[in-house]
Structures are given as structure tokens and as C-alpha cells.
Structure 1
Amino acid sequence: MKGIPVTLVKANQLMLVLLTLTSILFQNIYIVMFTFGLIVLSLIFGPRANVAMQIAKWVIKDLKNDETEAVVLLRFNQIIASSLLFIAIITFLITQHWIAWVFVGMVTVAASIALAGFCIGCFLYYQYKRLLYKSSQS
């Protein structure tokens, strides 16, 4: 599996926390849309289009000895985050109800927990893979 330095993954998580938390504090759906756009760009064009990772690469020159995380895990987590933000945007545009902020908050909490060391998306990914493996064995 291809790997991405953990420092770059952490930069992405930090960006998600800062942007989503800011959007919640200011109740600004445009920041959510901006964050969604950044994630979608990264999903379409890969890690080289991830703004947070590019800034981190520019600031931290030597990442050769850094531990790595699988690209597939980052992509899976990005899909979850973009899905939650998309649901938030649609919910807000249709209803302008506070429930939209719950979905944004879910991204904030998940990224914060990931920064602390436990990746919820990775846990879900491995459970999904385990279920696929068990179903193929039956």
C-alpha cells in the first residue's frame, strides 16, 4: 500500500478541525462549503491537491523518516467527511435548521479525536473490511 507521512495526515485533520469549528462558531455555511470544496478537490486529484498537506510540506522540509498512513485510509476518511459536510450543506439549504450543524460537528469531533490518536474512520474501515472478509469466507 502507498503511504502518506503522518505529519501530512495530521495537517489535514487540523485543517478540518479549524475550518469546521470556525464555521460552527460563526454559524457560517460558506466556510462549510469552502471546506467541502477543499476535500472534494483532494478526493478528485489526490493528496497533491490537498491544501493542508501542501502547506505542511512547504513548512516541514524533511518527511523522509516520518511514519506513514495508507492512502486508502485517508481517502476513506475524506469520503466520510465530505459526505457529512454535503449532508450539512443540503440540510441547511433546504431547511436552514440547526440539525445541519450537527453534521458539521460530527466532522469536527472525528477530526479532533483523530488528532488525539484514535481514527474513527480507520476503525470503521477495518470493521467494513472484516465484514467483507467474513462474508467471502461463508
Structure 2
Amino acid sequence: MKGIPISYVRTNQLILVILTLSAVVLQSGMLLLVAFLFVTMPLFIGPKANIAFILAKRIYSNTDRQQTESAELQKFNQTIAAALLTVAIVIYFVIGSWIAWIFVAMVTLAATIALLGFCIGCVLYFQFKKLKYKLSK
């Protein structure tokens, strides 16, 4: 699997926590949109559109010897975050319900836990792969 330097992944998680937590605390639809764009742009355009990676590249000069995380896992986790934020945006702007903030809080919580060293999305990913393998037999 292709790898992404851990410093890039951690920077991505930190910015995501800051954006989503700020959106929840301030009850800001604009910050919710910014968080949504932050997560979805790299999925549609590619890693070159990931602002966290661009920022991390400038901050961390020597990433050649760093441990890496799987690009496939990063994309899977980013997709989960994008799906949850999409649901939040639809609920927030169409229905106008406080329920939207639950979905944003789920992203915040998952990214915070990932920063602490446990990847919830990775657990889901491996369960998904396991199920896919069993179904293919």
C-alpha cells in the first residue's frame, strides 16, 4: 500500500478537529461548510487539494524517514468523514435541526480519538475487508 507520512495524517486530523469542534461550539453553518470542503476536496481532486498536506509539507521538512500510514486507509477515513458531514449539511441547511451537530460531533470525536492513537475508521475498514473477503468465497 502507498504510504502517507504520519505527520501529514496527524495535521489533517488536527485541522479537522479544530474545524468541526469550532463549528459545533459556535453553531456555525459557514464553518460546517469549510470543514466539508476541507474533507471533500481531496477526495474529488486528489491529495494535492489537501490543505493539511500542503501545510504539513511546509512545516515538516524531512518526511523521507517518517513512518507512514496507508493512503487507502486515509481515503477510507476521509470518505466516512465526508459522508457524515454531508448528512450534517443536508440536515442543517434543509431541515435546520440540531441533529446535524450530532453528525459533526461524530467526526470530531473520531478524529480526536485518531489523534490519540486509535483509528475507528481503520477498525471499520478491516471489518469491511473481512466481510468482503467472506462474501467472495
- Per the shorter chain, which TM-score range? over 0.9
* Equivalent residue, structure 2, for 1:39: 39
Cα-Cα RMSD: 0.8
Are residues 1:85 and 2:78 paired?
no
How many angstroms does 1:41 deviate by? 1.1
* Equivalent residue, structure 2, for 1:128: 128
Which amino acid in 2 is paired with 1:51? I
Gaps of 5+ in 2: none
Which amino acid in 2 is paired with 1:130? K
Task: Number of aligned residue pairs: give it.
Answer: 137
TM-score normalised to structure 2 length: 0.97
Identity of aligned residues (%): 47
Are residues 1:103 and 2:125 paired?
no
Distance 1:16 1:102 in 2: 15
* Equivalent residue, structure 2, for 1:73: 73
Gaps of 5+ in 1: none
TM-score normalised to structure 1 length: 0.96
Distance 2:10 2:60 in 1: 13
Are residues 1:61 and 2:68 paired?
no
Distance 1:67 1:80 in 2: 23
How many angstroms does 1:45 deviate by? 2.0
How many angstroms does 1:35 deviate by? 1.2
Q: Which runs of 4+ in 1 moved over 3 A?
A: none
